[in-house]
């Protein structure tokens, strides 16, 4: 009997010592200090520390100091960092279903985004976990618009531009090239210098980021047309998450989700404020005419065969089309 008890006791003591050890979660983000997204992480860390009696602490690496979002994913996989607050650009490296949110001109209202996200919720969460990460909260961080040094109204105008694409996102670069555009792959940390040197002159970003990084000081034209939705998530690698006591996991998850929901509600009203601030400092907002918008819609229709199976895998694309069809039937 004693021989059985001793190994069990050792196992229990080992588990207790692992859980009793303080955990520092190293979390990276592209968001600079002082931005709303960075502020959310600061608040998250404070509330986690309080809820876990100091056993879990968050150490934030802001402003892309550990690299771009693909670097963050790679460094989480090898254990250099443990979590990240990243956009759908980075999330697609973990879970292809996140490509659905950057489908050009697919969404024009937040109601549409919410419908798709709710219907894809299982795939977004389970596929991410299957690939080694846990989503703590998922929010949208605004609409992507075209910012450029010269006015853009039509796809023909865009063809004259040198377009920023994310380094490593060769699928987007190939798609643009196939349709006659000039992509320039760059690390996100090189975007400002790329604008300053003329290496790029056009980029698709949300206004909050363009304001925070002062990109509009050079790319001082914005096409008033929603190009894509920027969905973001706060993720942690499963190895780190599984070291945290289950009772703390539940509290930490609730805190993250509540903060994410509050952030999203506020952020959805902040985009127009960011645009107004940039307009005060020289940004020109160019509104396309209906016939010009139609040219963009025609471009996307021509791109669809290339989007499916390249930028977005067939299963993900077809699932999205099913949801869009269901959404359209409910609205009619």
Q: What is the DSSP string of 117-178?
A: HHHTHHHHHHHHHHTTEEEEEEEEEEEEEEEESS---SHHHHHTSEEEEETT-HHHHHHHHH
* CA atoms within 13 Å, Cβ hemisphere of 186: 21
Cα 147-170-143 angle, rounded to 5 deg? 30
Per-residue pLDDT band for 17 (boundaries 50, 70, 90) equals: very low
Least confident of 144-148, 185-189, 222-226, 254-258: 185-189
Tell me the whole-structure pTM to 2 decimals: 0.88
The answer to whether residue 14 scores a pLDDT higher than 70 is: no
Q: Are 165 and 173 in contact (CB under 8 A)?
A: yes
The answer to whether residue 9 scores a pLDDT higher than 50 is: no
- Give the rounded percent of residues in the chain with a pLDDT score beyond 90: 77
Question: Per the structure block, which two tokens stand in for 40?
Answer: 């959310």
Least confident of 19-23, 73-77, 119-123, 165-169: 19-23
Mean pLDDT of 97-115: 91
Whole-Å CA distances, 259 to 45, 75, 124, 193, 273: 11, 25, 19, 34, 21
Per-residue pLDDT band for 62 (boundaries 50, 70, 90) equals: very high
Query: What pLDDT does residue 4 have?
Result: 52
Residue 256, SS3 per DSSP: helix
270-290, pLDDT tens digit by residue?
A: 888 999 999 999 999 999 999
Helices (H), the chain: 2-20, 36-51, 69-77, 88-91, 110-119, 121-130, 155-159, 170-178, 191-197, 207-212, 238-241, 246-267, 270-280, 290-307, 314-331
* CA atoms within 13 Å, Cβ hemisphere of 56: 25
CATH class name, domain 22-331: alpha beta
The answer to whether residue 22 scores a pLDDT higher than 60 is: yes
Taking Cα atoms as reference points, which of 84, 21, 14, 94 lies closest to residue 56? 21
Residue 56, SS3 per DSSP: strand
Mean pLDDT of 50-55: 96
Determine the Cα–Cα distance for residues 72 and 81; give it in Å rounded to an integer: 8
Which position has the higher pLDDT, 11 or 321? Answer: 321
The answer to whether residue 139 scores a pLDDT higher than 60 is: yes
Partnered with residue 297 across adjacent β-strands are none
Mean pLDDT of 179-188: 94
Which position has the higher pLDDT, 150 or 9? Answer: 150
- Report the mean per-residue pLDDT for the chain: 91
Taking Cα atoms as reference points, which of 37, 262, 25 lies closest to residue 133? 25
Residue partners of 113: CB distance under 8 A and separation at least 6: 101, 107, 140, 229, 231
117-130, pLDDT tens digit by residue?
A: 999 999 999 999 99
DSSP conformational letter for 308: B
Determine the Cα–Cα distance for residues 293 and 192; give it in Å rounded to an integer: 28
192-246, pLDDT tens digit by residue?
A: 999 999 999 999 999 999 998 999 999 999 999 999 999 999 999 999 999 999 9
């Amino acid at each position: 009997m004693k021989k059985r008890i001793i190994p069990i006791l050792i196992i229990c003591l080992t588990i207790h010592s692992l859980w009793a050890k303080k955990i520092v979660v190293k979390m990276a983000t592209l968001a600079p200090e002082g931005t709303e997204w960075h502020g959310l992480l600061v608040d998250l860390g404070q509330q986690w520390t309080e809820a876990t009696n100091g056993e879990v602490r968050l150490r934030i690496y802001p402003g892309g100091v550990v690299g771009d979002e693909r670097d963050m994913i790679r460094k989480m996989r090898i254990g250099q960092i443990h979590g990240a607050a990243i956009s759908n650009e980075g999330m697609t490296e973990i879970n292809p279903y996140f490509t659905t949110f950057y489908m050009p001109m697919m969404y024009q209202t937040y109601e549409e985004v919410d419908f798709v996200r709710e219907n894809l919720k299982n795939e977004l969460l389970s596929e991410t976990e299957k690939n080694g990460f846990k989503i703590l909260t998922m929010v949208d961080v605004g609409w992507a618009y075209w910012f450029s040094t010269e006015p853009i109204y039509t796809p023909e105008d865009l063809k004259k531009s040198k377009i920023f694409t994310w380094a490593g996102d060769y699928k987007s670069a190939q798609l643009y090239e196939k349709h006659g555009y000039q992509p320039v792959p760059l690390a996100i940390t090189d975007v400002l210098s790329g604008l300053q040197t003329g290496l790029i002159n056009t980029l698709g970003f949300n206004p909050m980021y363009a304001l925070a990084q002062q990109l509009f000081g050079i790319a001082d034209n914005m096409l008033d047309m929603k190009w894509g939705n920027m969905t973001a998530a706060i993720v942690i690698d499963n190895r780190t998450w599984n070291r945290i006591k289950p009772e703390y996991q539940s509290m930490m998850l609730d805190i993250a989700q509540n903060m994410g929901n509050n952030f999203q509600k506020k952020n959805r009203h902040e985009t127009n404020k960011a645009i107004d601030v940039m307009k005060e400092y020289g940004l020109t907002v160019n509104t396309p005419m209906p016939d010009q918008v139609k040219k963009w819609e025609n471009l996307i229709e021509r791109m669809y065969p290339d989007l499916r199976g390249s930028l977005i895998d067939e299963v993900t694309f077809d699932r999205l089309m099913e949801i869009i069809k269901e959404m359209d039937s409910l609205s009619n």
